[in-house]
Structures are given as C-alpha cells and as structure tokens.
Amino acid sequence: MAVVTAMKTKREKRFRLTYRQAESLTGFVMAAPWILGFLFFVAGPMIASLYLAMTRWDIFTAPKFLGLENFEVLLTDDNLFWKSFRVTTLYAVFSVPLQIAVGLGLAQLLNQKIRLLGMFRSIYYLPSVLSGVSIAIMFRWIFGTQYGLLNTVLGMLGIEKVSWLGNPNIVLISFILMSIWGSGANMLIYLGALQGVPTELYEAAEVDGAGSFRKFFKITVPMITPVIFFTLINGIIVSLQEFQTPFILTDGGPADSSLFIVLYLYRNAFQWFKMGYASAIAWIIFVYVLVLSILVIRSSQAWVYYEGSLRGRGG
Amino acid sequence: MKKLSRRDFLRASAIGSLSAALTHTPWAGLAQDAVTLRLMAWGNPTEFEARQATLQLFHDSTEGINIDFIHTPSDYMTKLLTQIAGGDYPDVIFLGNGDIEPFVARGQLLPLDDFIAGDNFDTSDISQQNLKLYNVDGIQYGFPVDAPNQQLFYNKTLFDEAGVDTPSPDWEDDSWNWEAFLDTAKAVTDKDNGIWGWQVKTGFRAWWIWVTANGGEFFNEAGTECVLNSPEAVEALQFLADLIHVHEVAPPLDVASELGSAELFQSGVTAMETWWPAIGRMRTNIADKFEWNVAPHPGGKAGKTTAGGGTGHTISAFTEHPEESWEFLKFLISTQCVSVWTDIMGIVPPLTSVAESDVFLKPGEPPADILVFTKGNDYLRPDPRHAQFTQARSIAQSQLERLWIGGVSAQEVADDIVAEVNRLL
Amino acid sequence: MTTLPMPNRRRTDAVQKLIIYAVLVAGAVIVLFPFLWTFSTSLKTPEQVYQIPPQLIPDPIAPENYSRVVTDRPFGRWMLNSLFVVVVSTVGTLLSCSLAAFAFSRLRWPGRDKLFLVLLATMMLPTQVTLIPTFILFKELGWVNTYFPLALPAWFARNAFYVFLLRQFFMTIPLDLDDAARMDGANNFQVYWRIILPMSKPALGVAALMFAQFKWREFLAPLIYLNRRESLLASIGLRTFMDETHGTDWELMMAANIMFMVPVVVVFFFTQRYMIQGVVISGVKG
C-alpha cells in the first residue's frame, strides 16, 4: 500500500510540470465557450456600441462620425430623454424599496410555525415564475376603467372609477402597484435568509424583554442586511431596464408619462432607426446603473452587517 | 471505441439537423426550377384570409412562380426595416403609401416604368388618385392594393330613436358642417343610457381629417417646418377636444382605449365614428344589431376632406427576380385578384371596374350610401410626405394625448409639438 | 417561547396567529385573483366580456375560445417554436456554463481569478449596451429571422449567472474526489463528465429550470429578430391579439395567455422545491 502511494507520488513528481501545464490548458479549453461568448457577445459589442454612440447611423447608409454630439443632444436638448429618465428613476425609487418591504413583511409572516407554509410560499412566488408578457397582458385587462377587475372591486367598496392607465398622474402608480404584486421573489430570498438567523439571538433578546417590533428591527433586519443588499442592487438593475411591461401595458403613454428609458431606446433604434443615438442612450443607462450600484455598494459599509456564520448558512 | 464513434456520429447528425431546424424551413411544395418570390405583408386574420385566397388563385393560374408569404402580424415597419437592414430583401413589399418616399429616397424600390411601357400595361382602370400615391417624381414604384378613405359611420337606429336627421351623403352639400355636426352629436347623446354622439379617435388620420378640413397642414410646403400650430389646425384640434370636455358628446379617452376603438361603435355605444372602409368585418360584427350607414365628415373652413389612401405592392430594388415579381404585381392588380380581395375585405377597390361592380357594392347590404367611399377619393388628403414623418407623427400623437385627456389648450399642445418636431428637421 | 406558563400570553399568541393567517390568506387572494379573472375571461363570449357588472363564472361558458386561439392564429406552432428555442438554449447553457464553472472552481490556470471578476461584472451589465451591436453582428451573419440569435449565445455561456450558480455548487464538492479519479487515470474532462456532473444533478436541475423559465418568457430578442408569422415565439405571438384599430379580442388573448402560462405553472408545481431552493441559494449566497 505504502509502496504504491510512494510510486504514484514519484510518478506525479516526474510529470509535475507537464501536468500543471495540462491543467492550465484544460482550464482554458473548458472556459473557452464562456471566453468566446464574452468576447463576441459582451466585450466586442460594448466597444462597438461605444463607437456607434459617437455616430449618426440609420443602418442603411454608412455611419457618420459625430464625436460626442449625441450625448450633448441627449443631455441638453432632448426633453423626451429627460422625461424617460425621470419616469424610470421615479419608478425605481418607489418600486424597489416597496418590493423589499413587502417581500420582507411576507417573509416575516411566513417565518413562523405556520400551517400550509409551502402552499403560501408557492402562491406568493407564482407571479415571479410568470412575470413578463403574460402578467403585463393580464394587468392591461385588470387596470381597465370600465371592465377592469380592480375598478369592479373598488366599485363594490363604493370607490369611484380610477383611470389606472389613462391618467398621466396615475399610470406610474399602477406600474408600482403591479411590481409590488410580484414581490414573491424577494420574499423567497428573505425567507431563506431568515431561517439562517440563529434562534439564540431571539431568545437572548426575549430575556432582555424585547417585543416583536424591537426583535424585528434590532435582530432580524440587521442579520439579513447582506441579502437585502443583494436584492437592492438587483432591484435597481432590473427596474432601470424595465421594457416589456410599459411596451405592452401603455406603450409609454398617455402623453409619454410611462415612457421608460429602454422603451425610448427601443423606439430610437428599431422604429426610427437612429442606431447611433440609441447606442448613446444605452451607454447612459449603463453608466447610470453603474453609478447607482457603486453608491449602494459604498453605502453598504454603513448598513450591511456581515457575520461569518451567517454567510455560511442559508444555502 | 466503436460505440464511441457511433455516439459521435449521432451527435454530429443531431447538430446537423438542429442547424437545419434553426434556419427556417424552406417553403413546402417547391416545384423544380420554379422561382420563389418572397412577399412581405402585414394583416389581421381577415386580411390573412384574403391574402391566402388570392395567393391560391395565383398558384392555380401561374406556372413556375411560387410565393413565399412572410406574414408579419404586428410591428410591421419595424420588422420590415430590420429585415431589410439585415440585407434580407423580400422581392415584393406591401407598403403604406406614406412610406413610399423614404424607401425611394434610400433606393430600395424598383421603378416600374420600363415594365409598364414594355408590356403596354393598361393602368387606366386603376383609380388615378391612388395610383399617384405610388409615384415619386414621375416614376411609378407600385400599384395600390385598395383605395380606402376614412368616412363617418353612423348608427341609423340610434338616430331614428332620437328623431335626428341623418348626415347627408352628398359631398357637395354644404349644410353638413361642423356646427350641424355638433348639434347632431348633442341630439343623439344620451348619457343616462350610456350613448355617446361621437368618439374622438386618437389615430393620426382620425384627427388629420379635421385639420385638413379646416385648412391646416402638418409641414410647410418646403418641409422645413412643422405648422401644426396654425390657427386653422389649432381650431380643429380644440374643436375635437371640446367634444370630450366641453360638450361631453364623446367619451373620455380611456373608455375607448380599453376596448380598442372599433368596439364602441360596433356595440352601439357611440352613434358616429371615423372608420376606414373594411366594411366586411363591420358587416359581420354588427350583423342585425342595428342599422348603419356612412357619410362624409362635416365640412370645415376648407370644405370636406378625407384621409387614408391605403397600401400598395412594390418591388424591391434588390430582387433577383424582377421579371417574375412584375408578373406577380400585374396579377395583384388584375380584376380577378382585386375582386377576390374586395369580396373578403369589403374594402374600396383600386379598380374602377370593380368599384362599380356588385362585388363591392353588394346591393341590399349596408351601408346604403356606399358610394360615399368611391366619391371620397376626390377629397383625399393623404398623410404628409416627409422623411421625418414617422418620428414627427409619434411626437404629435404623444403630445395630443394630453389634449384628449384634458386640462391643456390645443394651442399649448400644438406649440409643443411644433417645437419638438422642428428640432428634428 | 412557550416556557412561560401565562394563559394571557397564549391568548395573545392565538390572536396573533389569527391575524397572521388573515393577512396571509388576504395576500394569497390578491395574488391569485387576477389569474382566476384571466381564466374566467378566457371562457367568455365577446358580449360577456363587456358586461357590467362582470360575471366571475361565465354562463354559458365559451371553451371554443381555446380552439380559436390555435385556428385563428398559429398559436400552437408558436408554443412549439418557443419550446424548441427553450430546449436548445437550455442544453447549451447547461453545457457551456458547467464547463466554465468547472474550470473556475476546480482547475488552476493563469488569469482565472481575474476572469472570474470579469464574469461577475458581466452579470450586472444592462443588456441594452450590447443589444444594437449584437443585432448588427447577427444581421451581418444573415441570421435575422432564424433562431440562431436566440439560441446560439446560450452555447457560449452568455448568461454568466449560471456559471456563477454552478461554480458555487461545485465548490461544495470535495476536491479529494477529483484527485481519486485522476489517480485512476481519468483526465479533467472525464472528472467533469463522470464525477462532477452526476453529483450536481440537483444544481443542474435548478439552473435548467430557472433558465428555461427565463427563456420561455423572453421578449425583446424575439421581438427584434423574428418577423415571420409562422416562426414567432409564443411570448411575441401573445401580442398579436392586441389590435388597436380593430379592437382587441380580450377573450382570445386571455385564452392564449392561459395556454402560455400553463406549462410554466405545471413545471413549477412539480419542481417548486428545487426552484425555490435555487432562488434562495442565488439570493443568500449572492
């Protein structure tokens, strides 16, 4: 036995260098699909898009180099761009925290000795499974003024008909309500995290006479801040890229009051064929996402609580 | 070892068939040596039915030319342009008359003049106003598929119940003006029973009729400026907005948008509406729910007008089969094909002979004054022709939503539109 | 908690429980009712759709809406097209992502850690930045109107998240196993294929489910790349029921919507344990 092992080590030693080389080679080969994909579908297009952003190009004729003109026009002379920027930001500012709050609330409710826990969890998660086109189409029908479900239910409660998608002052609220309706994904993530919070902490707090509210804000929330941090970043990225919901629900209307920035990009690129201008919009979205993410990451040092034991759990 | 290579073989063939499936499957029933033309067109289910019937006709009557029909149900212009941008040109393109100019400007359409001259092709039966829409600088690029114009449809049953006179079908009758229209709309509106006199449609042509009837324009003649804030245009837009907010003879915007604008009239909620002459669908949808008829829109300061103009067939400049495409185009404008199309669609045909035949007139079926459409061709004011029109229209449409919703004046909105559009020019 | 024998405490506990259940049930109703409403609309005649007050249970019911969905428009074909794209790209994602995940978690090679950071960064990249040039790339290749633009990137691990997910899982498998296999003469590919993949079936399952779900409802790419009526995907086909000028056939659109949702719900129903686990892992560990 010992002899065999010795022999193997010896053999390994002799081929050690080539073995390491072989491993490196295999590593490259195995990662090659991703590396190629990264070059052709991410890095290359990004460079190309930066170049395009500095041109005027209708896709049919040769691009014309403009330098920074597109950015200048966008930032100083395009009301619609600023409108879409405001719409998107407002939506993100309200929908992301509300989705977190509702998700957290639901998770907290479910993180008790509850019967039918699995059933409730699945029901709340259902909208996330189906999100996208079908949900948008569904809500187009639910938000109807005359025949919509929401106004019918409100009518039973004696509340007057609301023009959910037809009033420029209300339409964003409708979008936010719809996003809250789909808070199930956050709930699921929080629930996983809550189950990782050590029960001893609660017991200790109870001995100190802490009530449910204090326990929630002093223990639960701090303990799962890493997860909240993750959902916050993710929420920002997703909400700033909202496209299909406004595309299907309102097509940006009424009077551009739900013109999300990606919808404006889509119109420029694929309806008016202003590929250069649209690429400039794409880069502004990219920088905006980047800046917000960095701000959140920077701020996280102040509010995200990292504890080794927590990070290991939950999975 | 053997086993492995067999598995490899299976894998390779799987990849092979996969890539075959990934690229689209070739048109079935391809005869040998036959030329396949690719036709790109949009169409709702009714138009799809008409398309299939006419293609079948072509298939039965022609040897050696197959048609691969690329049917694009929605976002047609986006789809067509992305496909063309991809270097993938359909041979025959279904194109709205307003889109002809940009396509010609980009050199994407084949001039037909040589074919017309070479074949001594007789175009005299084609409605001249509509033929002209496919002519740029004296060169013919296509033939119309229809000759529709938007008219005023009214629910005769509701008019009779309210004891109100129906609008005159006579294009020359000056008494049918905006004032008369407003009185009529007020008289047939019965809000307690949920009946509205009119519906302000938000589509471009639905308000364009009113602007042109009052002498308004979208661009100045040189196309260097948007002039939608002229007093004539503003008055027309304000008149329409007032129908909703001041006179309350038209329902608020979201009521209409929830249903899709066609539903209100067809379900007897509005007594009058602007509609294009796809009468076939109207006939089946309304059936015997109520009696209905058509009339011209009321005349404004500049008299009566109508909008529309329809769609045509053109040939791509990059086709590899110009001869065959021309054969197909000739078929599409033939009496036989137009008759089948008209019969299914119930749309005004581009051929005078068919427009005067029972295929279109369908005696005994509504609308009684169907000739309003045929005569309307003389009053047609097609969409503005301008390279930036697509985006300009989109700007105008969004801004006008503010007007239809209420709370702003037509002047403010028109000024905003002009400022935005002028930035483009 | 219950060690304190106070009857008062128990009563408040019971009341609290009751409130919790009430809230949970109310929430469940809010979540489920729209689906019920959609289903109800899908079984109505056009007249019933516009009836006030609306009926929840239509009488009579119009099941023919479902057959009209596949006869008026080729919705069945569209569903099959979607299924095809989903299957092909899911297989591609699993293969390419697990290969990369293996390389990133179990092999040592120069530049590995730096590249992994790059990979993490791409997960945060908004897709719009690459949208237009990618479109132009595929257009130059003549692949507009084919399924290549939708399926091919998956074979190159375009969705880096799944590399990350699988790597996290592979890291939990002891390295000793690889060494033992190597001693038996297995090369790295064999270790990957014979040892790691079979041991990672649950993680691969989760990745497959999450990706397939995402692909099934993908919207922007098929919207841009597919023009032909017969080659549309179901997610885009749904929108053809919306017709501004001729009126939307709500009952048909809702029937199509139900048909579109059912496969997802059925798969979710049978695999929810894994899927929920997947979300939790990606969230908690992310």
Q: How many CB atoms lie within 10 A of CB B218?
A: 23
| Segment of A55-59, A214-218, C4-8 carrying the highest mean pLDDT | A55-59
Is there a single domain that holds both residue C27 and residue C85?
no
pLDDT at B161: 94
The shortest CB-CB distance from C103 to any of A30, A155, A233 is to A30
Closest chain C CA to residue A268: C132
Output the pLDDT for position C22: 93
Q: For residue A142, which residues of chain C lie inside 8 Å, CB to CB?
A: 34, 37
E-assigned strand segments in B291-343: 292-295, 311-315
In the numeric block, the tokens 């590919």 are attached to C189
* C31 interfacial to chain A (CB closer than 8 Å): yes
Q: Looking at the complex, does the CB of residue C145 fall below 8 Å from at least one CB of chain A?
A: no
Distance from C-alpha of B141 to C-alpha of B131, rounded to nearest angstrom: 10
Residue B30 — pLDDT band, cuts 50, 70, 90? very low
For an interface test with B, the pick among C229, C240, C253 (most B C-beta atoms closer than 10 Å) comes out as C229
**pLDDT score, position C245:** 59
Tell me the pLDDT of chain C averaged across its residues. 87
Q: Answer yes or no: is C281 within a domain.
A: yes
Q: Which residues of B touch A (CB under 8 A)?
A: 77-78, 81-82, 84-85, 106, 108, 252-255, 257-259, 390-391, 394, 398-399, 401-402, 405, 420, 423
Cβ neighbours of residue A274 closer than 8 Å, sequence gap 6 or more: A56, A57, A58, A268
Cβ <8 Å between B267 and C50: yes
Q: How far are the Cα atoms of A226, B68, B312, C228 from residue B141, in angstroms, in the given order?
A: 64, 21, 9, 25
Q: What angle do CA B306, B307, B310 make, to 5 degrees?
A: 130
Q: A69-312, which class in CATH?
A: mainly alpha
**How many Å is the maximal CA-CA distance in chain B?**
94
Q: What's residue A128's pLDDT? A: 87
Q: C168 and C26 share a domain?
A: no
Contact criterion met (CB < 8 Å) for A252 and B398:
yes
The mean pLDDT of B269-274, rounded to a whole number, is 91
In chain A, CATH 1.10.3720.10 covers: 69-312
Question: What CA–CA distance (Å, rounded) separates B265 from B272?
Answer: 7
Q: Does C112 touch chain A (CB under 8 A)?
A: yes
pLDDT in tens, B123-152: 999 999 899 999 999 999 999 999 989 999
**Confidence check: pLDDT of C1 > 90:** no
> Where are the alpha helices (H) located in A131-170, listed in sequence order?
133-142, 149-156
- Give yes or no for a contact between B410 and B241, defined as CB atoms under 8 angstroms apart: yes
Which residues of A have a CB under 8 Å from any CB of B? 59-61, 77, 79-80, 144-148, 163, 165-168, 252-256, 259, 267, 270-273
Sheet containing B272-275, strands listed edge to edge, beginning at the edge strand earlier in sequence: B272-275, B151-155, B292-295
B33-80: pLDDT as tens digits: 689 999 999 888 788 889 999 999 999 998 889 999 888 877 888 888
Residues of A within 8 A of B82 (CB-CB) are: 270
The tally of domains found in chain C comes to 2
Q: At what angle do helices B45-61 and B322-332 cross, to 10 degrees?
A: 120
Domain containing residue C199: CATH number: 1.10.3720.10
Average pLDDT over residues B204-219: 95
Chain C residues touching A231 at Cβ < 8 A: 283
Q: What is the pLDDT of residue A200?
A: 86
pTM of the model: 0.86
B30-34, B320-324, C116-120, range with the lowest pLDDT: B30-34
pLDDT in the model for residue C11: 75
For C78-113, the pLDDT digits (tens) are: 999 999 999 999 999 999 999 999 999 999 999 999
Per-residue pLDDT for B24 more than 60? no
Residue C278 pLDDT greater than 80, yes or no: no
For all residues of chain A together, what is the average pLDDT?
87
pLDDT level of residue B153 (50, 70, 90 thresholds): very high
- Residue A280 in this model has a pLDDT that exceeds 70: yes
> C204 vs chain B: nearest CA distance in angstroms?
21
Q: Which range of residues forms the domain containing residue C14? A: 7-42
- Residue C268: predicted pLDDT: 87
Question: Would the pLDDT of B103 be above 80?
Answer: yes
Can B32-148+309-361 and B151-307+388-424 be said to share one CATH topology? yes
Compare all CA atoms of chain B with the CA of C50 and give the residue at the minimum distance.
Answer: B259
Q: How large is the average pLDDT for residues B98-103?
A: 87
Q: Are residues C145 and C222 in the same domain?
A: yes
CB B211 within 8 A of CB B233: yes
Strands, E, within chain A: which ranges? 55-56, 64-65
Give percent of chain B above pLDDT 70: 91
pLDDT at site C244: 59
- Mean pLDDT of the region A61-79: 92
Token reading at B175: 């008494």
Assigned domain for C119 exists? yes
Question: Which of A59, A253, A271 is nearest residue B85 as measured by Cβ atoms?
Answer: A59
Average pLDDT over residues C57-77: 89
CATH match of B151-307+388-424 with 3.40.190.10: yes
pLDDT bracket for residue C281 (50, 70, 90): low
Can you give the pLDDT at residue C121?
A: 87
How many CA within 13 A on the CB side of residue B227?
16
Is pLDDT above 80 for B258?
A: no
Token duo for residue A53: 């952003």
Give the mean pLDDT of chain B. Answer: 87
* The pLDDT value given to residue A307: 56
| pLDDT tens string C163-183 | 988 998 898 888 888 889 988
Minimal CA separation from C151 to chain B, in Å: 9
Higher pLDDT, residue C242 or A110: A110
Ranges of each domain in chain B: 32-148+309-361, 151-307+388-424
Q: Which pLDDT band holds residue B260 (cuts at 50, 70, 90)?
A: low
Cα distances from A312 to residues A61, A196, A203, in angstroms, run 56, 9, 21
User: For B277-316, what is each residue's pLDDT tens digit?
Assistant: 778 888 888 888 899 999 999 999 999 999 988 899 999 9
C137–A contact, CB cutoff 8 A: yes
pLDDT at A185 over 70: yes
Q: Which of B45, B86, B260 sits opposite C142 (nearest CB)?
A: B86
Mean pLDDT of A23-34: 92
**Residue owning tokens 């212009």:** B77
Answer yes or no: is pLDDT of C35 > 90. Answer: yes
Higher pLDDT, B73 or A30: A30
Q: What is the pLDDT of residues A158-173, one digit of tens each?
A: 999 898 998 899 999 9
Which residues of chain C make contact with A281, given a CB cutoff of 8 A?
Answer: 128
CB B341 within 8 A of CB B331: no
Among partner residues B81, B394, B423, which is closest to A273 by beta-carbon distance?
A: B81
Q: Do C145 and B22 touch (CB under 8 A)?
A: no
* Whether A41 and C156 lie within 8 Å, measured CB to CB: yes
Q: Cβ contacts (< 8 Å) between C188 and chain A: which residues?
A: 22-23, 26, 30
If asked whether residues C97 and C158 sit together in one domain, one would say yes
Measured between beta carbons, which residues in chain A are less than 8 angstroms from residue B264?
A: none
* ipTM of this complex: 0.86
Selected for mutation to probe chain C from B22, B67, B279 (highest C CB count within 10 Å) is: B22
* Same domain membership, residue C38 and residue C88: no
- Integer Cα distance of A232 and B129 in angstroms: 60
Task: Please answer yes or no on whether B398 and A167 come within 8 Å at the CB atom.
Answer: no
Measured CA to CA, the distance from residue A276 to residue A282 in angstroms comes to 10
Percent pLDDT > 90 in chain C is 46
Q: Answer for the pair A134, C261: CB distance below 8 angstroms, yes or no.
A: yes
Nearest CB to C139 within list B45, B75, B86: B86
Query: Which residues from chain A sit within 8 angstroms of residue B84, using beta carbons?
Result: 60
pLDDT at A311 over 60: no
Class of domain B32-148+309-361: alpha beta
**Chain B hits for A272, Cβ within 8 Å:** 390-391, 394
Distance from the Cα of A235 to chain B's closest Cα (Å) equals 29
The packing angle between helices B389-405 and B231-245, to 10°, is 40
Q: Among B243, B158, B171, B169, which residue's Cα sits nearest to residue B206?
A: B243
